[in-house]
Amino acid sequence: MTYDVAIVGGGPGGYTAAEEAALRGLSVVLFERDLVGGTCLNRGCIPTKALLHDATPHASLSDMHARKQAVVTQLRGGIEKLLKQRKVAVVHGQATIVSLGVVACEGQTYEARDIVVAAGSVPATIPVAGIDLPGTYTSNDLLEGEGVGLSSLVVIGGGVIGVEFATMYAQLGAHVTILEATERILPPMDREIAQRVTMHLKKRGVKVETSARVMGIEGEPGSMQVRYVDRRGNSGVAEGEGVLVACGRRANAEGLFSPDVQPELSRGALVCDEAGRTSVERLWAIGDVVAGTVQLAHVAEAQARNVIASICGDEPPVETGIIPSCVYTSPEAASVGLTEDEAKARGIAVRTGKALTGANGKCLVEESESGYVKLVADAQTGVIVGAQLVCPRATDLVAELALAISLGCTAAQLARVIHPHPTVSEMVSSAARALAR
């Protein structure tokens, strides 16, 4: 069987690439060894948000899993239908790229002019004794329903996954301890976001230990101990009925290539140029499997559209330099563009404008927890270069700021736009006015 494009992996990168290619009139085969929708839909973004939405001290985690599953199943059905409508051939099984332009799967071979690898990532592990003990979980395990009934949880890693699961379990009434290796949680984000999120987590009873070096895990399900050394060099033990290991995700490129096709890898991830080309002719890669990429579903989707355009000889349609990132805490946090520190490190003189939730009618009406919208603008030109938010619906509001940055808007231009009242979005225009003055 011969196709224009073969896509390995059916997550947000892979299915978007398949749809885009089909819309451009290409014949497409997509290989998926598990379920279409990938990590995002089956073991990531969507199930986590469904569980977070329902998590209250009175909620039953089993009921929450049932509703989560209904959401996931509905969305997956939609993707499968779309792929069918677009006449994408979906092949279920483990695919291997056996030679240039040839993919083998379940004893069959498929030829394609171009191959796009969109095989995603898997939870990373850490070299610590006891990491594989029963009672230690990855986010996959917890999203698949393990960890029901845990009344205490130790979370190793205070990144996005760690913080979101800590939020969920704290909302369910569990005792949660986060052990984070660096000096603050959510390390790539603005210092002030980390401080504010830490404050809200602590208010919910979450213990947050930063600069914590995990030394080993012991115990059995229901009674686990994580030994660590704290920032002062003192030994400590965090106890929980379970342990979540949330220390990042690693590219899933193992077993994808036969010895005849050996693209350049960096720490197991595919090295690609800006357009998504690997070192092997007509072999492309997108999403979490790419070395140095930001591992987010919306980045994989953007890369998918760009790679298919490149395959067709067109200019990439999506700007991939401006990437909003979101954390589903309570309240939500989001960020796009440069932080004040990053701008300074690049030698850009910036000013910031801020609006507080305490002065926003909608936030007060909703009794939201304290937060802010902060805009970062070039001190000379007033052009917005970054934004950080901790407030209700921050994850939606950040899209407007991504647009402002992409269009090169100044704070004054943003301040000219009428924002509806009473809404949380008014904080964006207040922060812009504070800057434009």
Among 160, 244, 269, 373, the residue binding ligand NAD under the rule CB under 6 A is 160
Q: Does 335 bind ligand NAD (CB under 6 A)?
A: no
Binding map of ligand NAD across residues 380-409, x = CB under 6 A, - = no contact: ------------------------------
User: Which residue in the block uniquely carries the two structure tokens 């509703």?
Assistant: 67
CB nearer to ligand NAD: pick between 182 and 423: 182
Region near ligand NAD per CB under 6 A, out of 57-65, 174-182, 194-202, 397-405 = 174-182
CB nearer to ligand NAD: pick between 179 and 256: 179
Determine the 3-state secondary structure of 109 from DSSP: strand
Give the binding-site size for ligand NAD (rule: CB under 6 A): 25
Cβ at position 294, least distance to ligand NAD in Å: 7
Region near ligand NAD per CB under 6 A, out of 106-114, 157-165, 303-311, 312-320 = 157-165
Q: Does 327 bind ligand NAD (CB under 6 A)?
A: yes
Q: Does 246 bind ligand NAD (CB under 6 A)?
A: yes
Kindly state the tokens that stand for 213.
Answer: 């070096």
Determine the 3-state secondary structure of 28 from DSSP: strand
Note whether 40 and 297 are within 8 A (CB): yes
Cβ at position 409, least distance to ligand NAD in Å: 24
**Contact positions with ligand NAD (CB under 6 A) in 268-297:** 295-296
Q: Does 190 bind ligand NAD (CB under 6 A)?
A: no
Among 96, 182, 320, 406, the residue binding ligand NAD under the rule CB under 6 A is 182
Kindly state the tokens that stand for 194.
Answer: 């980390």
| Residue environment code for 316-331, b if the CB has 16+ CB neighbours within 10 A, otherwise e | beeeeebbbbbbbbbb
**Contact positions with ligand NAD (CB under 6 A) in 295-324:** 295-296
Determine the 3-state secondary structure of 173 from DSSP: coil
Region near ligand NAD per CB under 6 A, out of 107-115, 142-150, 155-163, 261-269 = 155-163
Among 164, 190, 332, 369, the residue binding ligand NAD under the rule CB under 6 A is 164
Note whether 394 and 419 are within 8 A (CB): no
* Bridge partner residues of 40 (DSSP): none
Q: Does 249 bind ligand NAD (CB under 6 A)?
A: yes
Q: Does 47 bind ligand NAD (CB under 6 A)?
A: no
Q: Does 326 bind ligand NAD (CB under 6 A)?
A: yes
Note whether 358 and 165 are within 8 A (CB): no
Separation in Å, CA 363 to CA 327, 334, 355, 357: 18, 17, 12, 6
Taking alpha carbons only, the member of 249, 64, 62, 222 closest to residue 154 is: 222
> Kind and range of the H or E element at 123?
strand 121-123
* Bridge partner residues of 285 (DSSP): 117
CA gap 352, 350 in Å, rounded: 7
CB nearer to ligand NAD: pick between 45 and 103: 45
421 noted as active-site residue: yes
Neighbours of 260 (CB within 10 A): 10
Which residue's C-beta sits nearest to ligand NAD? 159
Q: Which amino acid is at 383?
A: V
Among 47, 162, 240, 263, the residue binding ligand NAD under the rule CB under 6 A is 162
**Contact positions with ligand NAD (CB under 6 A) in 100-139:** 126
Q: Which of 58, 92, 200, 421 is catalytic?
A: 421
CA gap 386, 339 in Å, rounded: 6
Q: Does 161 bind ligand NAD (CB under 6 A)?
A: yes
Separation in Å, CA 303 to CA 19, 149, 221, 244, 249: 13, 39, 41, 30, 19
Contacts with ligand NAD, residue ranges (CB under 6 A): 126, 156-162, 164, 179-182, 187, 214, 246-249, 295-296, 325-328
Which residues are identified as catalytic?
421
